[in-house]
Amino acid sequence: MKRKHKKYSKPKRPFDKSRINEEAILKKEYGLKNKREIWKADSQIKSIREKAKRLIGSSEEEQKALFQRLRKKGLKVNSIADVLSLDKKDYLNRRLQTIVVRKKLATTSKSARQLIVHKKILVNGKIVDSPSYIVPIDIEDKISLKEKKKKTELNKKIPEQENKEELKEEPKEKNDWRKRRF
């Protein structure tokens, strides 16, 4: 069995008031469940920055490959300086929950989260139930609401033969235990 590892690290100073206030604002703005989601976004940005730092001395082809991958994710990057200046807000803006609000499929970020978790949002024709799903640029315009089934389709008239079969009652056994007197 594969061991799960944390995708984030807790802050070194847990009671830093300025950080707590900043995270509370981000949590409310993006409709996040808890601050752990902010920490996950922060760790993703840190890993992207580390990759960029390793590529500073490498060839331009490798750098362009990294820039291309980041552009597909929707991050606006053209140089290593742009990668190093990325912020957790840039990453949080690419979440499915945020994009659903931006496309006005939901009025608030909390309602967007609920729609996603309740499997009402389709991404490229497939149900995605993770609000933290990072939406690639090419799929962004393929996000839609799942269509509701109409009641008339569900309550179609049953043909007469099937209806008659349902009305017939099966003969009850003589030794029905519920009718016995004790």
Residue 120, phi-psi category: left (phi > 0), alpha (psi -120 to 50), beta (remainder): alpha
Considering the domain architecture, whether residues 100 and 75 belong to the same structural domain is answered as no
Considering the domain architecture, whether residues 45 and 73 belong to the same structural domain is answered as yes
In a domain, 166, yes or no: no
In a domain, 161, yes or no: no
Considering the domain architecture, whether residues 70 and 19 belong to the same structural domain is answered as yes
Higher pLDDT, 163 or 41: 41
Considering the domain architecture, whether residues 16 and 68 belong to the same structural domain is answered as yes
Residue 1 — very low, low, confident or very high, per pLDDT cuts 50/70/90? confident
Considering the domain architecture, whether residues 19 and 54 belong to the same structural domain is answered as yes
In a domain, 169, yes or no: no
Neighbours of 112 (CB within 10 A): 27
Domain that residue 115 falls in? 95-147
Complete DSSP assignment for 22-90: HHHHHHHHHT-SSTHHHHHHHHHHHHHHHHHHHTTTS-HHHHHHHHHHHHHHT---SSHHHHHT--HHH
Quote the CA–CA distance of 75 and 133 in Å, as a whole number: 14
In a domain, 173, yes or no: no
Residue type present at position 176? D
pTM of the predicted model as reported, rounded to 2 decimal places: 0.77
When divided into structural domains, the chain yields a total of 2
Over 90: is that where the pLDDT of 112 sits? yes
Q: Could you read off the pLDDT of 69-103 as tens digits, one per residue?
A: 999 999 999 999 999 999 999 999 999 999 999 99
Quote the CA–CA distance of 33 and 54 in Å, as a whole number: 33
In a domain, 170, yes or no: no
Tokens of residue 103, six digits: 């496309």
Considering the domain architecture, whether residues 80 and 140 belong to the same structural domain is answered as no
In a domain, 158, yes or no: no
Over 90: is that where the pLDDT of 178 sits? no
Considering the domain architecture, whether residues 101 and 57 belong to the same structural domain is answered as no
> Could you tell me the CATH number of the domain that includes residue 109?
3.10.290.10
Q: For the residues 49-58, what does the mean pLDDT come to?
A: 92
